[in-house]
Amino acid sequence: MSDSLDNLTATTKAVHKVEHSLKRRHKAERNFKRFGLGAIILGLSFVAILFVNIVSNGYSAFMATHIALDVTFDAEYIDKNAIADGDYRKLPRNALSETFPEVSGRRDKRELYQMISSSAEYALRDMVLADPSLIGQTKRIWLLADDEIDMAVKGIFTRDVPENERVVSDQEFTWLDKLAAEGRVEKFFNWSFFTNGDSREPEQAGIGGAIVGSFYTLLVTLVLSFPIGVAAAVYLEEFAPTNKLTDIIEVNINNLAAVPSIVFGLLGLAVFINLFGLPRSAPLVGGLVLTLMTLPTIIIASRAALKSVPPSIREAALGVGASKMQMVTHHVLPLAMPGMLTGTIIGMAQALGESAPLLMIGMVAFIVNIPGGPVDPSTVLPVQVFLWSDSPERAFVERTSAAIMVLLGFLVLMNILAVVLRRRFERRW
Amino acid sequence: MNQDLGNDFVTVGNVRCDKPRMQATDVNVYYGDKHAIKNVSLDIGENEVLAMIGPSGCGKSTFLRCLNRMNDTIEICRVDGDIQLDNENIYDKETDPVLLRARVGMVFQKPNPFPKSIYDNIAYGPRIHGLAENRDKLDEIVETSLEKAGLWNEVKDRLDAPGTGLSGGQQQRLCIARTIAVSPEVILMDEPCSALDPIATAKVEELIDELRQNYTIAIVTHSMQQAARVSQRTAYFHLGNLVEVGDTEDIFTNPSHQLTEDYITGRFG
C-alpha cells in the first residue's frame, strides 16, 4: 500500500519537474524559430534592396525620347542615282532651323543641332534607300533625341540646379518646352537597346553585341564542357581503379573548383592566345577558358548523379549479360542524366556571369560590331556592364542597370529551368 | 554455434553428383583479409534444384555469386579455385564474363526491374545478345518468357506499362522472366522470396518447380521449409565451410553432422 503511494509521489514529482522544464524548452524553441525567420528576412531584404535599386535605375532605359521634325528630303542634297552618298546631315539641321527660325549665331545653332542624335542622318539615309520615292517630299519623322535631351525629358536632368552646374542649358529647356507643347516630344520603346552594338553615344549604345557574344561564348562552353565533363565523371565513377592515381585526380578536380576564375584567364592568355595563336577577344577563346572553369562543377555534379543510381539496377543489367559499357550507357546514364543536366545548367549560369577571366583574354575591348561567329572579336554581358559603369555620361547609368536587369533575367530563367528539370525527374524509379 | 571448423574441414556427404552442370572444386573466397569461403567443393546437377541453407553470414550468397562471377564487381573480393561450367573453367583468363552471365542467369533478393516498360525489361537481354532477328521474333521471346514465368495473363494488355509499377510478387516474376529470356542454362536465385508475401512466395515456388524441367537451378534460402518444398539436393553452409550435402529428404530427416542437426532443429540461425 505504501509502496504504491511512494510510486505515486515519485511520478507526481517527475511530472512537476518535466512541467518546470517545459517553459524553458518552449521558449528556447520559439527563440530558435524567430532566429531562423529573422535570418531569412534579413537575406531576402538584401535581395529585395538589390533588385529595387537596379530596377528603379534601369527601367527608364527601355524608353527612348524621340522628337518629331518635318524633314524635307530635298533633291538638292540627295542624288537619286547615288542615294547612299547624299548629304543627309543637312536634313535634320534644316528641319530644326525651320522650327526655330529665331536661332542664329554659330554657337547657338550648334547647340540646337545637338539636340538630335548623330545617328539620325543614317536613319534618314536608310529610309530613302528603302523608298526612293521619298526624294522631294516633306514628312514628319520621329528622330532619336540626343542622350542629354533624353535625360532632361526623363526628369533626371532638372532645372533647379544653377545653369553653370548643369549639362542642359536654359535655352535647350526653352526649345524643349516649345517642342513638347506642339506634341513633338514622345518616348518610344527602345528596341535599339537590344539590337545595337556598343557606342560612344549613349542613345545609340545597345547590348546586342554583348548578347550575341555571350551566346557564342556559352555555346562553345556548352559544346566542350558537357561531353568532357560527363565522360570524365563516368570514367572516374565506373571505370577507374581504386589506387593512388585516381585519388590524386579526384583531389585535384575538387581543388580546381575553388581556383579563382581570373587564374583561368591568365592560363587562357598564355596558352590559347600566345601558344596556339587563337584570335584575341573571340568567343572561341572565351568559351575555352570558361570550359576549364565549369568542368569541375559539371564533373562533381555528374559524379553525384551517377552515385545516386542504385546498385541493384547495375547488378540486374550485369546479371542479364550486359557488358560494363552497356550497363553504363543503357541504364546508368539515362537515370543519372537529369542530375547531370541540372549541374550543367548551373555551371552555364555561373559561366554567363563571369567577367574576370574574360577580361584577361581581351574581351574587354570596345567593339561596335555585332559578332558574326565564334571567331569574331566580341564582348559579353557582364563585361559590357563593367565597361559602361566606367563611362562618364549620365545616360550610361540607366543603361548599365538595364543591362544588369537583362543579365539577371537570363540567370533567373536558367536557374528556374534547372529547378524544373530537377523536380520533374526526381524519382523515376 | 560460433565454432570455426577450420580450413581443413571435409564436407560430410557426397558433394558430387551424376550429371553435373557446374562443378566447383576447392573454392576459396577472400574479402580483403577475411576468409569467407573455405575450400568448398560442390556439384550442381542438371535439371535439379539445389538449395543452399545456413545461418546469416555463412557465405552461401558469396558462393552463389561466384558461379556467375558477380563477385568480380567487388574490388576487394578474391576468388581462388576451380569452377567449371560444361568442363570449362569460368575463371579462366579467356572466359568472357559477359557470355558467362548470359548462360548463368541470376535473380536477386529484392526485385530489381529496369525502370523501363515491361516489354523492354524482357527484351533488353535478347536485344543486346542479338537473339532475335526481327521484331516478331522478339515479341515471341517476350511472350514465351512471360508465359513461362506465369505472368503473361496478368500483363499481356499492358506491356508498355513501367515494370516498376507492378506488385512485389509480379516484379520478382518479371525478373525471373527477364532471366529466362536469354535462354540460360543455369539460374541462380539469391533468396528470391524473402521480400515477398506468402501468396507471391507460393507462386514463385510453383514457378521454380516448373522451371526445373528445362533449367538447372541453385537457390539460396533462409527458409528451411522452402528448401524442403522446392529442392532435390540441399547444401548446408556454416561460417564459410560447406558442412553437409545430400538429398533434401535425408538432410531434413536424418542429418549426419551435429551442426546440421542443430541448425535444422532450430537451436540457432
Question: Do the Cβ atoms of B73 and A429 come within 8 Å?
Answer: no
Interchain CB distance below 8 Å, B125 and A330: no
Segment-wise mean pLDDT, segments of 10 residues, chain B, 269 residues: 78 89 93 92 93 90 93 90 91 90 93 94 93 92 91 92 91 94 94 89 90 93 91 93 92 90 79
| ipTM score | 0.90
Task: For residue B106, give the nearest of A319, A322, A429 by CB distance.
Answer: A319
Nearest to A323 among B70, B98, B124 (CB): B98
DSSP secondary structure, A43-88, as one string: HHHHHHHHHHHHHHHHGGGGEEEEEEEEEE--TTT--TTSGGGS-T
Residues 6+ apart with CB under 8 A from B186: B21, B22, B44, B67, B68, B85, B103, B104, B105, B215, B216, B217, B218
B127–A contact, CB cutoff 8 A: no
Decide if B121 touches A, using CB distance below 8 A: no
* Secondary structure string (H, E, C) spanning A144-200: EECHHHHHHHCCCCCCCCCHHHCCCCHHHHHHHHHHHHCCCEEEEECCHHHHCCCCC
Which residues, 6+ apart, have CB-to-CB distance to B102 below 8 Å? A320, A321, B125, B129, B182, B184
Q: Which fold has domain B20-264?
A: Rossmann fold (3.40.50)
Q: How close does chain B come to A338, measured CA to CA in Å? A: 14
B-chain residues near A315 (CB < 8 A): 70, 73, 106, 108, 112
Nearest Cα residue in chain B from A322: B98
- Cβ–Cβ of A335/B175 closer than 8 Å? no
DSSP annotation string for B19-76:
SEEEEEEEEEEEETTEEEEEEEEEEEETT-EEEEE-STTSSHHHHHHHTTTGGGGSTT
Asked if residue B256 lies in contact with residue B13, where contact means CB atoms within 8 angstroms, the answer is yes
CA–CA min distance B5, chain A (Å): 32
Global pTM? 0.81
For residue A324, give how far its alpha carbon lies from the nearest alpha carbon of chain B (Å). Answer: 9
Chain B contacts in chain A segment 118-157 (CB below 8 A): none
Which residues of chain B have a CB within 8 Å of the CB of A242?
A: 75
- SS3 at position B181: coil
Residues of A whose CB is below 8 A from B128 = 320-322, 326, 330
Three-class SS state of B241? strand
Residues of B in contact with A237 (CB under 8 A): none
pLDDT digits (tens, 9 = 90+) for A53-87: 999 999 999 999 999 999 988 888 888 788 888 88
Q: How far is A63 from chain B (nearest CA, A)?
A: 53
A105 at B interface, C-beta within 8 A: no
pLDDT digits (tens, 9 = 90+) for A351-392: 998 889 999 888 888 888 888 889 999 999 999 999 999 888
How far, CA to CA in Å, does A6 sit from each of A2, A14, A15, A20, B123? 6, 12, 14, 21, 73
Going along chain A from its start, the domains and CATH numbers come out as 65-188 (no CATH), 208-424 (1.10.3720.10)
Contact A318 B73 (CB under 8 A): yes
Low-confidence ranges of chain A (pLDDT < 70): 1-2, 426-429
What local confidence, expressed as pLDDT, does residue A83 receive? 81
Q: What is the pLDDT of residue A424?
A: 80
Q: What is the pLDDT of residue A2?
A: 65
Which positions in chain B touch A326 (Cβ < 8 Å)?
128
The runs of H, that is alpha helices, within A322-391 are 324-327, 333-352, 356-360, 381-389
pLDDT at A294 (0 to 100): 94
Task: Determine the angle formed by the axes of helices A333-352 and A395-424, rounding to 10 degrees.
Answer: 170
Is B114 in contact with A335 (Cβ distance < 8 A)?
A: no
- A208 and A196 in contact (C-beta within 8 Å)? yes
Per domain, the residue ranges of chain B are 20-264
Between A and B, how many residue pairs show a Cβ–Cβ distance under 8 A? 64
- Scanning A316-335 for CB atoms below 8 A from B yields 316-323, 326, 330-331, 335
Q: Does A427 touch chain B (CB under 8 A)?
A: no
Contact A321 B125 (CB under 8 A): yes
Query: Which residues of chain A lie closer than 8 angstroms to B68, CB-CB?
Result: 319
Cβ <8 Å between A316 and B114: yes
Mutate to test the interface with B, among A247, A318, A320 (most CBs of B within 10 A): A320
**Do the chains contact at B108 and A319, CB–CB below 8 Å?**
yes
Encoded amino acid at B150, one letter: G
Residues in A touching B175 (Cβ below 8 Å)? 316
Cβ-based contacts of B107 with chain A (< 8 Å)? 319
